[in-house]
Structure 1
Amino acid sequence: MDISAPSLRAVFTAVKTEFNAGRSTYTPTYTRIATVVPSTTSSEDYAWLGEFSRLREWIGDRHINKMALHSYSIKNKKFEATEGIPSEYIEDDTFGVLMAKFQDMGYAAATHPDELTYACLASGWNTLCYDGQNFFDTEHDVGEGENEKLVSNMQDGALAPWYLLDTRRPLKPLIFQKRKDYQLSAKTDAGNSDHVFMADEYLYGVDARVNAGFGFWQQAFGSKAELTEANFNSAIEKMMGLKSDKGRPLGINPDLLVVGPTNRSKAKALIEAMQKEGGASNTNYQAVEVMVVPWLD
């Protein structure tokens, strides 16, 4: 095959087809725990985080909620993956043997939001959220004046972590910020490309500008204690008992238990078995959904 503009377009079409095929083999789950926020600048400010919305009976004039401003922003990051096709594969019309790696590139692009989001969740033990505390912390400041107190959304320990989340609300526990979606492009112009001239290789790559960050800590509970019935029930109770700064119940109702491979069997036994060992009824049967994430632990 002569290397020309039409032949290079044909190669790019083949690369794009395989890339999309690989991307379609994976169904991401990050949108279950993260609100997708479109971004228009290098970073986005989330100063408005801090107070859940609520309706009140309209008596007299409207009551305008004063937004408590917090200093929290998420900066977009660049990500890329690039593969090359040596010119002889195109000249000899054998580039088809290389298409599997472009399928894998598509798969990597599909899994990347999950990897980024769950890595963010796992970093919550030592990464600050909107209130200036670590996302999982024992000292979240809640309340006003005499009613001010410190609230915990974690259990300490030294074991593989597990996470209890409330994902039913429009605003999720985490944020996935998207400035530029994952796009495949080619550097193939033999007349103008320095890389083709120097390396005799045609480049194809995917890139994106995205990042993940934290939303409301109240919708997440992290534990490094053993995943037992008692610890699970304690986490449920603490989440459902959370109140706003004004003292009203937040209505938190966790629906998702996120674990890594280490806690998979314990999570399945705790939530998906109708009976406990010994035959007693399991009161936590299907209390939440179990999600096993390979990027945790």
Structure 2
Amino acid sequence: MIFNETNAQTVLTAMSTSIKKVFDAAFEAAESNWNLVAMEVPSNGASNSYAWIEKFPRLRKWIGDKTVKQLKGHAYTLQNDDFEATVEIDRNDIEDDNLGIYKPQAEMAGESSKQWADDLVFQTLTKGFEENCYDGKTFYATNHVVGDGKGSKSVSNRLNVALSIESTAAAKASYGTARTMLKSIKDDEGRPLNLKGTLLVVPPALEDVANALMTNERLEDGKPNPYKGTAKVLVCGWLATDTEWHLLDTSKAVKPIIFQPRKKPVFVQQTDTSSDAVFMRKKFKFGAEARGAAGYGLWQMAVGSTGV
């Protein structure tokens, strides 16, 4: 192909349209599950500050003046970061009609753009055993504090037990205990939050165990399975270990994890023939850019186990 100043813009426009079409197709086809465990909180600046309240206002009998809750919050800030995926195309490949070699790169850029939110959200979830949430404790901790003063108590949403279907006792000590922990969490006035485990998130190594726990009529000891159908299973390749598992309540508007997009993935290009990259190295660039963050919502809505 003859590529000169006369036809450069026409050729580049056609190339850009073709690459964007491949990018968009891969973006649409890619699987994404972040919204199963996270709530989207849009961002309009460099960061978002979340003043998560400790009080959970509920209706009470109205006698005399209304009782106004003295809401307390914690400063929890998520800073937006920049992300990119870039494909570089050599001018010689345009002149030689050799653009087919870039199709896989454009497809991968589209797929990674679709799964950008998954990457942020599930990496946040798997780091919950070591990173802090709004109350200054690790997201999964044995000593979250609920209530004030003499009425305060320590509450755990962390386990160190393997997910098991070997026997009724083993299943109860793992998954059963996590369900009970969620159901038992109360607000600072001692009222139940009515939480329940709806989603069981596991690594690929625990897929068979989790599916058996949710579908088998009987456990491996031959006894009836009391947990059949009590939660959906999500197999997640982003989890850091082969033993961890997470039981979440994802049935409410507020979810355990926050996804904070400042700028969702957009297709970008650099096709100015007079740019330094083209003049000095004969390179054109296409790709995607995004900006955002992920962090922790309410620890009360999740129980995590290291599995060991």
Partner of 1:174 in structure 2? none
- Compute the RMSD of aligned alpha carbons: 2.0
2:114 is aligned, of 104, 110, 113, to 110
Would you say the 8 A contact 1:259–1:293 is kept in 2? yes
Partner of 1:122 in structure 2? 126
Partner of 1:285 in structure 2? 228
Deviations 1:17-52 (A, max 9, x none): 000111112231111111101001111000134333
Q: Is 1:249 aligned to 2:253, yes or no?
A: no
Partners of 1:248 and 1:239 lie apart in 2 by: 13
Would you say the 8 A contact 1:45–1:74 is kept in 2? yes
Partners of 1:238 and 1:87 lie apart in 2 by: 61
SS in 2 for 1:55: coil
Would you say the 8 A contact 2:26–2:108 is kept in 1? yes
Matches within 5 A, 1:100-249: 100-156=104-160, 228-249=171-192
Partners of 1:155 and 1:48 lie apart in 2 by: 24
- Relative to structure 1, is the Cα distance of residues 229 and 267 closer, same or farther in structure 2, using a 3 angstrom cutoff? farther
Q: CA deviation at 1:279?
A: 4.2
Letter in 2 for 1:99: K
Deviations 1:180-230 (A, max 9, x none): xxxxxxxxxxxxxxxxxxxxxxxxxxxxxxxxxxxxxxxxxxxxxx98342
- TM-score, length-scaled by structure 1: 0.73
- TM-score, length-scaled by structure 2: 0.70
1:87 is aligned, of 88, 91, 109, to 91
Would you say the 8 A contact 2:52–2:134 is kept in 1? no
Q: When the two structures are aligned, how many residues end up with a matched partner?
A: 231
Q: CA deviation at 1:6?
A: 1.6
Structure with more relative contact order (C-alpha pairs < 8 Å, separation 6 or more): 2
Partners of 1:128 and 1:54 lie apart in 2 by: 28
* 92-101 vs 6-15, which moves further: 92-101
- Relative to structure 1, is the Cα distance of residues 26 and 59 closer, same or farther in structure 2, using a 3 angstrom cutoff? farther
5+ unaligned residues in a row in structure 1: which ranges?
163-225
Partner of 1:276 in structure 2? 219
Partner of 1:196 in structure 2? none
Q: CA deviation at 1:101?
A: 1.3
Letter in 2 for 1:236: R
Q: CA deviation at 1:53?
A: 4.5
Would you say the 8 A contact 1:48–1:67 is kept in 2? no
Partners of 1:51 and 1:14 lie apart in 2 by: 54
- Relative to structure 1, is the Cα distance of residues 252 and 274 closer, same or farther in structure 2, using a 3 angstrom cutoff? same
5+ unaligned residues in a row in structure 2: which ranges?
164-168, 242-308
SS in 1 for 2:51: coil
Percentage of matched positions with identical amino acids: 34
Q: CA deviation at 1:90?
A: 1.0
